[in-house]
Copies of this chain bind each other. A is one copy, B any other.
Amino acid sequence: MEKPLILISNDDGYAASGIRQLTDMIRDLGEVVVVAPDGGRSGASMAFTGTTPVRVHRMANDGEAKVYACSGTPCDCIKVAVGQLLNRRPDLILAGINHGDNAAINVHYSGTMAIALEAAMKQIPAIGFSSCKLSVDADFSALRPTVRQMVTAVLEHGLPPRVCLNVNYPDAETFKGIRICRMGLGDWVNEVEPRTDPRGRGYYWMAGNFVSHDGHDDETDTWALHNGYIAVTPSHLDLTAYSAMPRIAEMFGA
């Protein structure tokens, strides 16, 4: 039987430690191809490149895994891989391991989860892996058993249509277990820092701190991370606020 085809991407770039460790963790579970940005694309969200050409370069193999570096966004990587580079449809798309968590509303800014959501559009099962360990040389070896467990289960059973998984790991070497979570709410504060350049002209850095709005809600991914669990948030594409529909209909006389 043909090995399953596993496409791996990320938003930290093809050479990041996290994607190399992820590739190493699962390389025996299928035929692995890496198509990832040629450098960091943190905060890229689901942006795609509409006005400039996208280039792709074949890099040295990582073991038996072919590696391609792409000048575009994380979403571009998936579009180019599925549309052009791969000779068959992938059975699974993995993103990460991201250096930094993508819990709560930060999914919306995340290039890692953009990959998983792009896969969901294409009805290809996908998992985005992120860790609270930010360091560029973080050691993710503690994630290996559960990464393999989840990848194996999804390869065997698939996922519900257009559902992908957002998996976040605490900054720890042992975990209390896997929690199935809902997406936490929150916002960023102090997110714009004004500065003055040497010529006396003002500019801004986007920065800030995330503030959870969940309180002591033990069902969210934010809670799970803060309490030592691996947070698994099943995620989909539908943003419809169903419960708000009657109120808006009333307001607009529709």
Least CB distance, A151 to chain B, in whole angstroms: 11
Closest chain B residue to A177, Cβ basis = B254
Least CB distance, A175 to chain B, in whole angstroms: 11
Q: Which residues of B contact A179 (CB under 8 A)?
A: 254
Known: A47-B47, A84-B204. A251 touches B192 (CB 8 A): no
Least CB distance, A74 to chain B, in whole angstroms: 10
Q: Are B108 and A204 in contact (CB under 8 A)?
A: no
Q: Which residues of B contact A73 (CB under 8 A)?
A: 47
Partner of A47, one of B109, B187, B243, B251: B109
Bound complex: CA A205 to CA B55 (Å): 9
Q: Are B244 and A239 in contact (CB under 8 A)?
A: no
Q: Are B76 and A238 in contact (CB under 8 A)?
A: no
Q: Are B165 and A239 in contact (CB under 8 A)?
A: no
Copies in the complex: 2
Known: A46-B108, A48-B43, A79-B191. A153 touches B241 (CB 8 A): no
Q: Which residues of B contact A197 (CB under 8 A)?
A: 53
A105 contacts the other chain (CB 8 A): yes
Partner of A234, one of B234, B235, B245: B245
Partner of A54, one of B49, B154, B165, B205: B205
Q: Which residues of B contact A200 (CB under 8 A)?
A: none
Segment 201-247 of A: residues with Cβ below 8 Å from B: 201-206, 232-245, 247
A83 contacts the other chain (CB 8 A): yes
Q: Are B242 and A185 in contact (CB under 8 A)?
A: no
Q: Are A79 and B192 in contact (CB under 8 A)?
A: yes
A21 contacts the other chain (CB 8 A): no
Partner of A43, one of B50, B55, B182: B50
Chain A positions within 8 Å of B, measured between CB atoms, are 40, 42-51, 53-56, 72-73, 75-76, 79-80, 83-84, 105, 107-109, 114, 117, 121-123, 149-150, 153-154, 157, 159-160, 162-163, 165, 177-183, 185-188, 190-192, 194-195, 197, 201-206, 232-245, 247-249, 251-254
Could you show 14 A-B contacts with beta carbons less than 8 Å apart?
Answer: A43-B49, A45-B48, A53-B205, A54-B204, A76-B206, A121-B188, A159-B248, A179-B254, A180-B248, A183-B239, A185-B237, A233-B239, A237-B239, A239-B239
Known: A123-B187, A178-B253, A235-B239; 8 extra A-B contacts, CB below 8 A, are A42-B51, A47-B47, A80-B192, A84-B192, A121-B186, A160-B244, A185-B237, A232-B252
